[in-house]
């Protein structure tokens, strides 16, 4: 924990809405009065590649990226990507895993196999592991493209110092008018999941 | 008002607030968003140029007229702009001219990891280096002021981590500015013939001396005294990494990395027991400090390569990073970036990969097609290199290279630096075939306009370069246009052109699948009919993300009849990802791929 804040790492696959999700977290923390920084790398046809976003908030934040072993919460949008960044977590860190599988090229081609029982592997190292089916939540919220907001809902339940109202107000300003309702619904379903 | 901004957005905002009215550049990660964002502000003029050399020359002209100008490029772009750069240092700027170089430690999206601080020293130009978005906004303003005050171009050095990280920035209102541009005649200053340049050359050294004095009291060369056990001399993003893990040390944070404040550094050094120089890439500061006789620790313990993070800094100085999980015990298939579903490059490179030819590649998304399974590209050096290289290789191979050397280059890259080497091919009677992958945009950096798209950076309609007419005008006798979604015709045309004497140009034209403006047809996704699939794996050779291979043994509860004794599974298409390009359908001899 840095100055009363947290280090988070969002991980997943290009196109899953990770950058928007980390943007929303940052704006929530800003609204709550924290200093905040986030960092990711874009370019070079990231579509389909592994994507991460570091988010750090606290009284004063220097580095926009956390070092390995210093992440409080790993938020993984895809199961395999959870494994790739496990070494970033603190020993008492928590993991939120979206129960989604997206095959990398080597698996598609049959040259590699997609690891089995990823949640079990993660549980060997960490006590607090939350598995969530965000696609299912998104469908229930009325729009499959609200997966990232559903995951933010799950995360929000673990950040009890931040009022739900702040999340909602930031979400309202982060999406086009016509999809706000579904995103708020996905957030609330995620929060209760 | 506070706003969360990337370093790039903050530079654009700072330039706007400070009354900069003119921007020119060429897209390149991580610099692209600076000019894109700047172009959106009221009252500014901004343009994409064909390349960085042109952008800097445009900037020089505007600055000599008295404008406040920024020229924006990635680190390797400065190589292209280096020719005007070195003499610009002699002429000075009249108005204000800031060159933004966005370096890419760790090569996130670049072909090399050059440290452009060396350009500041080499060209005798001051360089500022911000560490976060607020500083990016502040420093672009200071850079303009230094440029005006000292009549010098000024570098603002960004790195990927500063450009693309976001932090909180305090917004200010733009200052009132007057248009002071006019034609100013001054041949002694602008005409760099030897007679004038010798005089200007002396002026450059004098200016550098003045800047050295300026640096001594420049407030952004900032001393933060804490404990005296260790002092850290650093600049830019590594400052944050160090503060994160060693808050108890004292700091000299250099806002200006060239020229250095030698007295200030000596004074700081005298107050602490030992000094660490923390800098990514080259020992740029360290070597200068050691040349001053200072006893500092730098690259003995810090890496030369890749960007740092707080862990790198801590490990190097000797802190404990804790026990990290050893990931080598886990099997984690890599997930490299891939060409998008429906990418027009895929059909072309599928064909090229099957031809027995050397394919000299270039800079663009298509460079990714060197990977399995396409393996359709054999080299990548820099913008435009494909054409010169394929010609040189074809000449050196003589008859052995006949029909066996191809150069492949994107539309924006061709405009950037492919035209002169193509002229060279005509002039020197080449036998290579050049393919221009014309996807109607600068795709890799995120859909920027260029001279063949018909639109300017600020969205105005303009003339559209016609590649076929240009190639003919340069003297190419055989110019063909193909649709890379048509595999058979692509293969036929490539074979025909390779068999001809003399240079040919093939324009492989199909808009980038992400470019919404040019998508003519509605997407009709495809699926695999399991009753017909023979499991031949031909479609997998495209490396298209939605297509995957399912073994029979991994499919529980589904019974599919084997079409051949040897069949081990079937192909499956994830219809939610498919863009319906039909390449896989064309390869499927069993006719198993159908519209959903």
Cα A190 off chain centre by: 12
3-state secondary structure of B300: coil
Check whether B267 has a pLDDT greater than 70: yes
The CA dihedral of B128, B130, B136, B140, to the nearest 10 degrees, is -10
Check whether B83 has a pLDDT greater than 90: yes
Residues B364, B228: one domain? no
Average pLDDT over residues B275-286: 98
- B-chain CB neighbours of A104 within 8 Å are 333-336
Q: What is the CATH number of the domain that holds B263?
A: 3.40.50.920
Q: List the one residue out of B19, B20, B21, B80 whose CA is nearest residue B49.
A: B80
Burial class (CB in 10 A: 0-12, 13-18, 19+), A177: exposed
User: What is the rounded distance in angstroms from the CA atom of residue A178 to the CA atom of residue B95?
Assistant: 47
Domain termination site, one of B186, B217, B248: B217
Average pLDDT over residues A41-66: 85
Residues B205, B248: one domain? no
User: What is the rounded distance in angstroms from the CA atom of residue A89 to the CA atom of residue A87?
Assistant: 5
SS (HEC) of chain A: CCCCCEEEEEEEECCCCHHHHHHHHHHHHHHCCCEEEEECCCCCCCCCCEEEEEEEEECCCCCCCCCCCCEEEEEECCHHHHHHCHHHEEEEEEEEEECCCCCCHHHHCCCCCCCCCHHHHHHHHCCEEEEECHHHHHHHCCCHHHHHHHHHHHHHCCCCCCCHHHHHHHHHCCCCHHHHHHHHHHHHHHHHC
Look at residue B554 in the predicted model and tell me its pLDDT: 82
Domain termination site, one of B477, B498, B518: B518
Residues B8, B38: one domain? yes
b (16+ CB within 10 A) / e for B422-459: bbbbbeeebbbbbbbbbbbbbbbbebbbbbbbebbbee
B425 to chain A, closest Cα gap in Å: 30
B297 to chain A, closest Cα gap in Å: 22
Residues B207, B226: one domain? no
Residues B232, B244: one domain? yes
Check whether B568 has a pLDDT greater than 50: yes
Q: Which CATH class is domain A6-132+160-166?
A: alpha beta
Check whether B558 has a pLDDT greater than 80: no
Q: How many CB pairs under 8 A join A and B?
A: 173
In a domain, B322, yes or no: no
Q: List the one residue out of B538, B26, B108 whose CA is nearest residue B306.
A: B108
Q: pLDDT grade, residue A44 (50/70/90)?
A: low
Q: What is the tens place of the pLDDT at every residue in B200-252?
A: 999 999 999 999 999 999 999 999 999 999 999 999 999 999 999 999 999 99
Q: pLDDT grade, residue A45 (50/70/90)?
A: very low
Query: Which residue range forms the structural domain that includes residue B587?
Result: 526-595
Task: Report the residue of chain A nearest B247, measured CA to CA.
Answer: A62
Structure tokens that stand for B84 in this block: 């005007």
Task: Report the residue of chain B nearest A41, measured CA to CA.
Answer: B164
**Mean pLDDT over each residue of chain B, to the nearest integer:** 96
User: What is the rounded distance in angstroms from the CA atom of residue A18 to the CA atom of residue A174?
Assistant: 13
Report percent pLDDT > 70 for chain B.
99
The CA dihedral of B376, A115, B334, B512, to the nearest 10 degrees, is 60
Look at residue A105 in the predicted model and tell me its pLDDT: 86
Task: Report the residue of chain A nearest B369, measured CA to CA.
Answer: A45
B249 to chain A, closest Cα gap in Å: 15
Average pLDDT over residues B434-459: 97
Q: Which of A48, A64, A66 sits opposite B165 (nearest CB)?
A: A64
In a domain, B297, yes or no: yes
Q: What is the tens place of the pLDDT at every residue in B93-102?
A: 999 999 999 9
User: What is the rounded distance in angstroms from the CA atom of residue A137 to the CA atom of residue A147?
Assistant: 7
Are the C-beta atoms of B316 and B232 separated by less than 8 Å? no
In a domain, B28, yes or no: yes
Residues B236, B371: one domain? no
Average pLDDT over residues A53-66: 97
Could you tell me which residues come within 8 angstroms of residue A193 by beta carbon, excluding any fewer than 6 positions away?
A132, A137, A150, A153, A154, A157
Could you tell me which residues come within 8 angstroms of residue A155 by beta carbon, excluding any fewer than 6 positions away?
A8, A25, A73, A75, A96, A190
Structure tokens that stand for A110 in this block: 């049959």
Check whether B522 has a pLDDT greater than 90: no
| Domain boundaries of chain A, sorted by first residue | 6-132+160-166
Other C-beta atoms lying within 10 Å of the C-beta of residue A131: 18
In order of A54, B156, B160, B431, the CA distances from B143 in angstroms are: 30, 7, 19, 49
Look at residue A1 in the predicted model and tell me its pLDDT: 44
ipTM: 0.96
B287 to chain A, closest Cα gap in Å: 26
3-state secondary structure of B421: helix
Lowest mean pLDDT among A100-114, B166-180, B248-262, B438-452: A100-114
Residues B74, B188: one domain? yes
Residues B155, B207: one domain? yes
Structure tokens that stand for A177 in this block: 């008018």
Q: What is the CATH number of the domain that holds B133?
A: 3.40.50.970
Lowest mean pLDDT among B306-315, B350-359, B508-517: B508-517
Sign of CA dihedral A167, A169, A171, A174: negative
Structure tokens that stand for A151 in this block: 């995951």
Sign of CA dihedral B513, B28, B80, B17: positive
Look at residue A46 in the predicted model and tell me its pLDDT: 59
3-state secondary structure of B295: coil
A87 touches chain B (CB under 8 A): yes
Residues B275, B197: one domain? no
Residues B49, B172: one domain? yes
Q: What is the tens place of the pLDDT at every residue in B163-210?
A: 999 999 999 999 998 999 999 999 999 999 999 999 999 999 999 999
In a domain, B188, yes or no: yes
Q: pLDDT grade, residue B561 (50/70/90)?
A: confident
Structure tokens that stand for A43 in this block: 């370019």
Average pLDDT over residues B367-381: 95
Q: What is the tens place of the pLDDT at every residue in A142-163?
A: 999 999 999 999 999 999 889 9
Residues B199, B247: one domain? no
Report percent pLDDT > 90 for chain B.
91
Task: Report the residue of chain A nearest B443, measured CA to CA.
Answer: A45
Domain count, chain B: 4
Look at residue B576 in the predicted model and tell me its pLDDT: 84
Residues B236, B249: one domain? yes
3-state secondary structure of B345: helix
DSSP B75: H
Look at residue B160 in the predicted model and tell me its pLDDT: 97
Say whether B321 and A49 touch across the interface (CB within 8 A).
no
Instruction: Return the residue matching tokens 């403006």.
Output: B517
DSSP B455: B
Structure tokens that stand for A29 in this block: 């923390």
Q: B55 — phi, psi (to 5°)?
A: -60, -45
């Amino acid at each position: 924990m840095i100055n009363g804040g947290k280090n988070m790492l969002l991980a997943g696959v290009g196109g899953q809405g990770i950058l928007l999700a980390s943007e929303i977290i940052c704006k929530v923390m800003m609204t709550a009065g924290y200093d905040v920084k986030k960092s990711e790398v874009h370019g070079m046809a990231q579509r389909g590649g592994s994507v991460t976003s570091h988010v750090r908030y606290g009284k004063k934040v220097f580095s926009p990226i956390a070092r390995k072993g210093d992440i409080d919460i790993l938020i993984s949008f895809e199961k395999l990507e959870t494994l790739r960044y496990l070494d970033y977590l603190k020993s008492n860190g928590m993991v939120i895993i979206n129960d989604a599988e997206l095959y990398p090229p080597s698996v598609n081609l049959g040259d590699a196999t997609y690891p089995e029982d990823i949640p079990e592997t993660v549980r060997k190292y960490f006590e607090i592991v939350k598995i969530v089916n965000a696609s299912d939540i998104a469908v229930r919220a009325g729009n499959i493209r609200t997966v990232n907001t559903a995951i933010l809902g799950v995360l929000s339940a673990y950040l009890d110092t931040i009022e739900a109202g702040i999340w909602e107000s930031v979400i309202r300003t982060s999406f086009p008018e016509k999809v706000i309702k579904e995103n708020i619904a996905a957030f609330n379903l995620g929060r209760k999941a | 008002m506070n706003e969360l901004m990337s370093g790039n957005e903050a530079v654009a905002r700072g330039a706007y607030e400070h009354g900069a009215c003119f921007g020119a550049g060429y897209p390149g990660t991580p610099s692209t968003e600076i000019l894109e964002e700047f172009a959106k502000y009221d009252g500014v003029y901004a343009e994409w140029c064909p390349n960085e050399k042109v952008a800097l020359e445009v900037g020089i002209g505007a600055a000599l007229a008295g404008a406040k100008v920024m020229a924006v490029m990635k680190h390797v772009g400065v190589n292209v702009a280096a020719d005007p750069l070195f003499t610009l240092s002699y002429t000075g700027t009249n108005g204000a001219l800031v060159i933004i170089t966005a370096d890419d430690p760790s090569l996130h999206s670049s072909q090399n990891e050059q440290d452009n601080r060396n350009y500041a020293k080499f060209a005798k130009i001051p360089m500022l280096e911000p560490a976060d978005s607020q500083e990016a906004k502040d420093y672009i303003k200071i850079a303009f002021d230094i440029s005006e005050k000292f009549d010098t171009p000024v570098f603002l050095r960004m790195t990927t981590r500063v450009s693309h990280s976001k932090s909180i920035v305090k917004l200010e209102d733009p200052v009132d500015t007057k248009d002071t541009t006019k034609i100013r005649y001054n041949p002694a200053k602008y005409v760099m013939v030897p007679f004038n340049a010798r005089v200007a050359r002396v002026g450059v050294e004098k200016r550098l001396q003045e800047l050295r004095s300026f640096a001594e009291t420049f407030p952004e060369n900032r001393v933060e005294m804490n404990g005296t056990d260790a002092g850290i001399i650093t600049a830019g993003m590594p400052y944050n990494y160090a503060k994160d893990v060693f808050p108890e040390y004292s700091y000299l944070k250099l806002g200006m990395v060239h020229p250095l404040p030698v007295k200030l550094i000596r004074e700081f050094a005298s107050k602490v027991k030992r000094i660490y120089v923390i800098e990514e890439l080259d020992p740029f500061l360290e070597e200068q400090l050691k040349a001053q006789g200072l006893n500092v620790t730098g690259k003995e313990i810090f890496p030369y390569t890749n960007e740092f993070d707080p862990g790198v800094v801590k490990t190097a100085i000797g802190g404990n990073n804790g026990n990290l999980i050893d990931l080598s015990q886990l099997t984690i298939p890599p997930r490299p970036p891939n060409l998008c579903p429906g990418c027009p490059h895929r059909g072309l490179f599928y064909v090229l990969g099957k031809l027995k030819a050397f394919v000299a590649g270039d800079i663009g998304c298509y460079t990714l097609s060197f990977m399995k399974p396409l393996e359709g590209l054999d080299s990548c050096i820099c913008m435009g290199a494909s054409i010169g290289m394929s010609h040189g290789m074809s000449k050196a191979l003589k008859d052995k290279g006949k029909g066996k050397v191809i150069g492949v280059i994107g539309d924006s890259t061709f405009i950037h630096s492919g035209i002169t080497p193509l002229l060279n091919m005509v002039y020197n009677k080449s036998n290579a075939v050049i393919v221009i992958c014309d996807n109607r945009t600068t795709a890799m950096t995120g859909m920027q306009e260029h001279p063949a798209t018909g639109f300017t950076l600020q969205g105005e309609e303009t003339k559209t370069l016609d590649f076929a007419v240009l190639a003919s005008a340069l003297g190419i006798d055989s110019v063909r246009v193909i649709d890379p979604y048509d595999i058979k015709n692509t293969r036929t045309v490539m074979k025909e052109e390779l068999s001809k004497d003399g240079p040919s140009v093939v324009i492989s034209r199909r808009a980038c699948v992400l470019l919404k403006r040019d998508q003519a047809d509605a997407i009709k996704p495809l699926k695999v009919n399991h009753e017909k699939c023979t499991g031949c794996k031909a479609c997998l050779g495209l490396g298209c993300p939605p297509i995957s291979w399912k073994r029979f043994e991994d499919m529980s509860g589904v019974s599919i009849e084997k079409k051949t004794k040897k069949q081990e599974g079937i192909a499956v298409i994830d219809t939610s990802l498919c863009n319906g390009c039909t390449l896989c359908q064309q390869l499927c001899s069993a006719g198993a791929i159908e519209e959903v």
